[in-house]
Structure 1
Amino acid sequence: MKILVTELMWDDGIEELRKLGYTVDYDMELGRKREELLKLLPEYDALIVRNETRVDTEFLDAAKNTRVIGRLGVGLDNIDLEAAKERDIPVIAAKNANATSVAEYVMAAMLDASRPLSDADADVRQGNWDRKFFTGYELNKRTLGLVGMGEISHRVAKRARAFGMDVVGYDPFVAPFDHILAETGVRPADTLDELLQQSDFVSVHVPLTKATKHMLNKDNFPLMKSHAYVINSARGGIVHEEDLIDAVKSKQIAGAYLDVLEKEPVQKDAPLAQVESIRLSPHIAGLTDEAQSRTAMLIAQEVDRVLNGGKSICAVV
């Protein structure tokens, strides 16, 4: 049987599939070559994608012999799940494989905001010794607001609590006795506005849907503290980027850390790239070596399970 990998996949996952006897064709740029990809699809029993490959009805109609689609990650906004379900094609995601890496990214962002060591290093190398300017502040007793309270937020909360932070969360789908509230010490907020008003850092952990698109915008940025930061490692489009720029420039908030953008990659002359207090990274929150190895191995094993007649524990449809 043949498997096509259209985007970046760690070598150990590809080798695992080959050891299992599959023919694996791998082109990490194929997700961007739409016409070429559509012509190739009928040849394959399984497809493995990331977030750039657009799995829509045209894609699925071309994938006539595909029995399973593996997603190297957890975001699903690039996949038409209803269309896959109609065609009886299971879609499996790398459930929680990169959750720890994303949680550590959030902690790194907060530490960078409170103690900007790279800026201090650059300043010292210019011959300066400005100890007062780089004094910074502690995370201890600061408040972290988590928008969405799934597994990644749970891991963020555990780490933030270890730093002595107060953690508040907003998620209308979390019940009072779910683990993040019952066992992690997160205080529930009744509304998003309430969370924004309390938080020194606001970290976003929700999928991009019609309900969450631009949920942080010009209407609620003024509710935040003037020294607060937004951290988005979830999906571009949840934060309204133009409104964010205005909020930072007008000093309604201090800044932001954006790992995901509405249009990726960002152009060097884009408005976001001109605001120093908005720190950008190239969609890497979940891209540690360890997370990518776990993700690749999990998807390889679950694709194999489905191709051999089993049901995946990571199936989303």
Structure 2
Amino acid sequence: MAPKVLVSDKLSETAVQIFRDRGIDVDFEPSLGKDKDKLAEVIGQYDGLAIRSATKATAKLLEQATNLKVIGRAGIGVDNVDIAAASKKGVIVMNTPFGNSITTAEHAIAMMFAVARQIPEANASTHAGKWEKSRFMGVEVTGKTLGVVGAGNIGSIVIDRAHGLRMKVIAYDPFLNEERADHLGVRKVELDELLAKSDFITFHVPLTDKTRNILSREAIAKLKPGVRIINCARGGLVDEEALAEALKDGRVAGAAFDVFAEEPATNSPLFNLPNVVVTPHLGAATTEAQENVALQVAEQMSDYLLTGAVTNALNMPSVTAEEAKVMGPWLKLAEHLGAFCGQLTEEGIDEINLLYDGAVAGMNTAALNTAAIAGLMRSVNPDVNMVSAPLLAKDRGIDVSTTTQDQTGVFEAYIKLTVKTPDRTRSIAGTVFSDGKPRFIQIKGINIDAEVGAHMLYTTNEDRAGIIGALGQTMGENGVNIANFTLGRAERGKDAIALLYLDEQPPQPVLDKLHATGLFQSIRPLQFAVE
């Protein structure tokens, strides 16, 4: 019997026809997604559900989806899908993370022109019967310096278009190495230099703890006078109130925003300023982009239902059912190893090597690689998944290599991740014990035995007396409970490390007290996605 798919949102007829052409029985009910009760009545008939944003794939709906195997979201956002509930039901959730890239990049370029030439204000003035040529004096973009914050998929398209406009382009991206920068034709700089030298600045990064308020009040003070700011990426990257003040006093010449800290945005500090252009989150709003993501999701869902191929899955690695039973804990370990290095690495990465020793060397190392890379890159992009991670690494020019070997030590199997940057090499190894729990067994060549917890604290120091006391006393005095405590050293009096498994993340004042002791070379809080 042919697989059966329900399209419950407005997808194009061309996308619906893809299902039919591939031999899939498809029902096109574009209004059904808005009727949750009716949808719940019929969902049990279908193997696949193709949606946009109107359909809400809740846990309650999924309880009725007795035959459902895959949900395909035409677009990148999956806020309307309960991924955890889908995973428990064994339902794969797919999206189309790259279908809107060109459209969003073009919108950023359009917004740059709009603010450079004051087009919206001039348009309104002219419609009002005025003829204010002298009022709307603009600036050229030719020869100006464009600072691109985030040189990933969308940022690289903006860079390409900016070259066509004869702009000088500089870029800030912690994962951009020199080789990739050369290929893109940009000069890689630190954020402070980008702020100080750019005539236009455009943001193309996700909203994470590291990027939130990246253009803060302090950063705005470092901007080149007369700069123009464009944000078509995510709300929350810019301190809107501080930027509004800088726009009013003339330090910033203009701004163009498509996204806001709170959406729908009905009252932003940037509203009603004459040198600000605003649009209601239109980055992906073109007919071509909407068509692209619809066609992509139809192809992806068809591939899975007919051949088992998994593309752009958010909740499932690319492994077979048989492999998943054995590899589950090892996939989690690989992700933890990547997350450890990702949270410590702030410079561009040149190389990633994964060494598989013993029994794990015979597993699906390609899937383990993607788990490690996803963990590594999720520290700067929470939308990274098991499929998109290798593509993002490739976009940034990161060389990924794999080494396998027979058992060489006391462990039946282990994985070692090595990350190379222009300035240093960082390594961490781990294994899975018989209880199925991943453990770290070596960091920077120092042997340890550390259980992985959701909240951890990693410190480095010179081996000397007082380290355990300082950590224990500081945590105890501030009510931070230590669940597990692991120490290791290279040799007496040399490099030493500590890894604490905590019940909660220590607040910044606690970290400041540890720094104040003068005992530690570095102190880094870490977080891991544990079950």
TM-score normalised according to structure 2 size: 0.51
Q: Partners in 1 of 2:214 and 2:224 — Cα distance?
A: 17
- Structure 1 residues 224, 16: CA separation in 2 closer, same or farther (over 3 Å shift)? same
Q: Larger deviation: 290-299 or 43-52?
A: 43-52
Which residue, out of 4, 8, 18, partners 1:5? 8
Greater relative contact order, per chain length (Cα 8 Å cut-off, separation 6+):
1
Using the TM superposition, give the Cα deviation of residue 185 of structure 1 relative to its aligned residue in structure 2, in angstroms: 0.7
Q: Partners in 2 of 1:135 and 1:276 — Cα distance?
A: 13
- Structure 1 residues 300, 220: CA separation in 2 closer, same or farther (over 3 Å shift)? same
Say whether the 8 Å CA contact 1:200–1:227 is kept in structure 2.
yes
- Partner residue in 1 for 2:283: 285
Give the SS at the match of 2:11.
Answer: coil
TM-score normalised according to structure 1 size: 0.81
- Partner residue in 1 for 2:182: 182
Which residue, out of 66, 69, 74, partners 2:68? 66
- Partner residue in 2 for 1:25: 29
Q: Partners in 2 of 1:39 and 1:250 — Cα distance?
A: 59
Say whether the 8 Å CA contact 1:4–1:44 is kept in structure 2.
no
- Structure 1 residues 223, 122: CA separation in 2 closer, same or farther (over 3 Å shift)? same
- Map of 1:121-132 to 2, 5 A cutoff? 121-132=123-134
- Structure 1 residues 36, 171: CA separation in 2 closer, same or farther (over 3 Å shift)? farther
- Map of 1:215-226 to 2, 5 A cutoff? 215-226=214-225
- Residues 1:204 and 2:206 aligned together: no
Say whether the 8 Å CA contact 2:230–2:255 is kept in structure 1.
yes
Q: Larger deviation: 200-209 or 112-121?
A: 112-121
Unaligned segments of structure 2, at least 5 residues: 316-531
- Partner residue in 1 for 2:240: 241
Q: Partners in 2 of 1:52 and 1:209 — Cα distance?
A: 26
Q: Partners in 1 of 2:240 and 2:55 — Cα distance?
A: 23
How many residue pairs align between the two structures?
A: 310
- Partner residue in 2 for 1:46: 48
Letter of the 2:5 counterpart: K
> What percent of counterpart residues are identical?
33
- Structure 1 residues 200, 72: CA separation in 2 closer, same or farther (over 3 Å shift)? farther
Letter of the 1:218 counterpart: R
Greater Rg over alpha carbons, structure: 2
Q: Larger deviation: 58-67 or 12-21?
A: 58-67
- Partner residue in 2 for 1:303: 301
Give the SS at the match of 2:16.
Answer: helix
Using the TM superposition, give the Cα deviation of residue 47 of structure 1 relative to its aligned residue in structure 2, in angstroms: 3.4
- Partner residue in 2 for 1:172: 174
Letter of the 2:221 counterpart: P
Q: Partners in 2 of 1:199 and 1:183 — Cα distance?
A: 21
- Map of 1:141-152 to 2, 5 A cutoff? 141-152=143-154
- Structure 1 residues 219, 143: CA separation in 2 closer, same or farther (over 3 Å shift)? same
Q: Partners in 2 of 1:37 and 1:217 — Cα distance?
A: 45
Say whether the 8 Å CA contact 2:176–2:188 is kept in structure 1.
no
Give the SS at the match of 2:157.
Answer: helix
- Structure 1 residues 55, 176: CA separation in 2 closer, same or farther (over 3 Å shift)? farther
Using the TM superposition, give the Cα deviation of residue 82 of structure 1 relative to its aligned residue in structure 2, in angstroms: 6.6
Say whether the 8 Å CA contact 1:17–1:24 is kept in structure 2.
no
Q: Partners in 1 of 2:214 and 2:93 — Cα distance?
A: 27
Give the SS at the match of 2:214.
Answer: coil
Structure with greater proportional strand content = 2
- Structure 1 residues 203, 87: CA separation in 2 closer, same or farther (over 3 Å shift)? farther
- Can you list the C-alpha shifts for 1:260-294, whole angstroms capped at 9, x where unaligned? 23333222x55443334332212222221112111
Q: Partners in 2 of 1:308 and 1:103 — Cα distance?
A: 34
Q: Partners in 1 of 2:224 and 2:58 — Cα distance?
A: 41
Letter of the 1:297 counterpart: L
Letter of the 2:188 counterpart: P
Say whether the 8 Å CA contact 1:46–1:66 is kept in structure 2.
yes
Say whether the 8 Å CA contact 1:4–1:26 is kept in structure 2.
yes
Unaligned segments of structure 1, at least 5 residues: none
Letter of the 2:186 counterpart: V
Using the TM superposition, give the Cα deviation of residue 160 of structure 1 relative to its aligned residue in structure 2, in angstroms: 0.4
- Structure 1 residues 36, 188: CA separation in 2 closer, same or farther (over 3 Å shift)? farther
- Partner residue in 1 for 2:163: 161
